[in-house]
Homo-oligomer: A and B are copies of this chain.
Amino acid sequence: MEQHLLLKELQSKYGFPDEEFPRLLAFFKEKHFKKNEIMFKAGDVVKHTYFILKGCTRQYYLSPEGAERIIYFAEEGSFCGELNSFLHETPTNLNLQSLEETDVIYLDLKNWETAMTTIPALTLYHIKNHQRLMVKLKEEMGRAHIETPDEKYRRLVNEKPHLLQRLPQYHIAAYLGVTPETLSRIRKRNTLM
């Protein structure tokens, strides 16, 4: 019997009691996004927090000049959203877009709060995971200023090789902060030797 992706994620990090899971799952609704659909955009108040069952999304800023700065890609088995906007009901600066046909389950604010306050194992998951993400973000920050595009690319190859197969190169380029032309040349340099 196949284990639910959400339960798998919750248990993989810190343990989550199986018997609590149906009660948690009941708080979620399901939804499908078509390829390239905007899930929320800058200026919106984010109404849902998503967990991806199938597919892939990108979160990005639009610079004043209109360039897209991709912060990260989320794939099946992970949460994506923008908690600050969601919890405080304030407009976000981020954009979220599906990159493939994408199935999600999601929570609205009311259910998020209820689940978070009545399921201790979820609270624990959330706090610890949040802490962990913060540290990862800081590490990336440190590297973002310093690493050369070649280094960034090689790190991606090592850490998230599946993304390279899954996504078009211009998105990878926007994520690495280089032009598609440069990425093409980097790939040439780094595969032939």
Size band of the interface chain A makes with B: 20 to 34
Taking a contact as CB atoms closer than 8 A, the residue among B83, B132, B138, B176 that contacts A131 in the complex is: B83
Q: Is A17 an interface residue (CB 8 A)?
A: no
- Contact check, B144 vs A71: say whether CB atoms are below 8 A apart: no
Give Cα A156 to B13, complex, Å: 37
Q: Is A25 an interface residue (CB 8 A)?
A: no
Q: Which of A138, A139, A176: most chain B CB closer than 10 A?
A: A138
Instruction: Identify which of residues 120-177 in chain A touch chain B, using a CB-to-CB cut-off of 8 Å.
Output: 128, 130-135, 137-146, 176-177
* Identical chains bound together, number: 2
| Shortest Cβ distance from residue A127 to the other chain B in the assembled complex, whole angstroms | 8
Instruction: Identify which of residues 68-101 in chain A touch chain B, using a CB-to-CB cut-off of 8 Å.
Output: 69-71, 82-84, 87-88, 93-94
Question: Can you list 19 A-B contacts (CB < 8 A)?
Answer: A69-B142, A69-B143, A69-B145, A70-B142, A71-B138, A71-B142, A83-B131, A83-B134, A84-B131, A84-B132, A88-B131, A94-B138, A130-B130, A133-B134, A134-B134, A140-B141, A141-B141, A144-B177, A145-B177
